Amino acid sequence: MRILINALYLVSENLGGTWTYTSNLVSYVSALRSDHEFVVLANGRTASAFELRGEKTRLVKVDLDVESRIKRVAWEQLALPKLVRDLRIDILHSTGNTLPLRLKEKTVVTVADLQYKKYPENIPLARRMYLNWFVPRSVRRADLVLTISQHTKESIMYHFGTPAEKIRVIYLAGLSEKDAEQMQASNEEVDVKQPYLLSVGSSLPHKNLPRLIEGFAKVAPAIPHNLVIVGEGFDQRSVLHQMLVNTGLAGSKRIQMRGFIGRRELLALYRRADAFVLPSLYEGFGIPAIEAMECGCPVVAANCTALPEVIANAGLFFDPLSVDSIAEALGRVCRSSTLREDLRARGQLRAKQFSWEKMAAETLQAYEQVAG
């Protein structure tokens, strides 16, 4: 069986969970022992970043104007079906929500979340229109729909009327083999005064960082911890900067906005933080929570969407819409070393239930189900 994994839409390695999922799928599924062949379709900008570990795996690069979504979508809908026929592909797997709608071969599509339904304001109008048109039709066209949590499965069933048996939940994971090697080899110190809390996110509204900042400001006088936020969109014109001004913490070092950082530095921050805080209002899975657990960092998280499902009893939860609830949870974890040790132990145990090897093996089973 010859399987094509469509990663053409991945124009940057800074695409968060979508990039992490697809790159690890390619790396780990190509390393599995099987009689199947894999073809990875990627754009010229990011193709070199994919690690192909199997002898029966090949990379096909398409040099498109990656800045033009219209050209990419047109190519996928019109030219990709011909490529699939020319390469004699048995199954096409698109990891990015949409499929070529006129493809005759068998198909699998991954729909990681329906953020565009829940928080349409996060997405430009043109992309929102594209998703509203293509995602439901791709879900109907697919022979099998993969998703990354029971929460997203239920959302797909609700919005599109998709039968449960057509959707398979395959959980993601946290650290990859490369991450684990870096973490073991690194004794890197971090340029952050300890103790501190760590959060990873962006300035998008659903990441809920303004409420985290407000909650931290409320409890800050009573705790010795600083707050370190890693992500993007933190310039002086952002809502986050204005929140810092409003709380009176803009000129202090109690809250540090770090922007994008290297992977090694992030792992070092996880390892030395007293807790990792994930205040997001919407997550399809929550990879950073698993990463933090694997690094021995206690997790404090929002009690909504997929996070309680993924974190289970290994985290301390709060209401992400309540500043008081956020402040109370931060205060609890900062004041109690006993609580932190309990969460650390629970987290490391919970994280063992997730791995990229397991994700890849279950995805291969999904391909075989479709082929069969």
Give the chain's domains with CATH numbers: 2-173+355-371 (3.40.50.2000), 177-351 (3.40.50.2000)
Query: Which are the contacts of 369, defined by CB distance < 8 A and separation ≥ 6?
Result: 144
Copy the structure tokens of residue 343. Answer: 């969460």
The pLDDT-based confidence of 205 (bands split at 50, 70, 90) is confident
Taking the C-alpha atoms of residue 83 and residue 89, their distance in angstroms, rounded to an integer, is 9
Least confident of 74-83, 141-150, 304-313: 74-83
Copy the structure tokens of residue 202. Answer: 């962006």
What percentage of the chain exceeds 90 in pLDDT? 69
The pLDDT-based confidence of 77 (bands split at 50, 70, 90) is very high
Whether residue 358 is predicted with pLDDT greater than 90 in this model: the reply is yes
Question: What is the value of pTM for the model shown?
Answer: 0.93
| Beta carbons of 256 and 227 less than 8 angstroms apart | yes
Number of H helices, E strands in the chain: 15, 13
| Beta carbons of 362 and 169 less than 8 angstroms apart | no
| Beta carbons of 224 and 260 less than 8 angstroms apart | no
Whether residue 154 is predicted with pLDDT greater than 70 in this model: the reply is yes
Whether residue 236 is predicted with pLDDT greater than 60 in this model: the reply is no
Task: Residue 109: name the closest of 151, 166, 51 by CA.
Answer: 166
Whether residue 362 is predicted with pLDDT greater than 80 in this model: the reply is yes
Taking the C-alpha atoms of residue 124 and residue 73, their distance in angstroms, rounded to an integer, is 16
Q: Distance between alpha carbon 316 and the CA centroid of its chain, in Å?
A: 20
Whether residue 3 is predicted with pLDDT greater than 90 in this model: the reply is yes
Please give the single-letter amino acid code of residue 222: A
**Mean pLDDT, all residues of the chain:** 91
CA atoms in the 13 A half-sphere facing the CB of 61: 10
Q: State the pLDDT at residue 234.
A: 61
- Kind of pairing between the strands at 196-202 and 167-169: unpaired
Q: State the pLDDT at residue 338.
A: 98
End-to-end CA distance of the chain: 11
**Beta strands across the sheet bearing 57-62:** 57-62, 37-43, 2-6, 91-94, 106-110, 144-147, 167-169
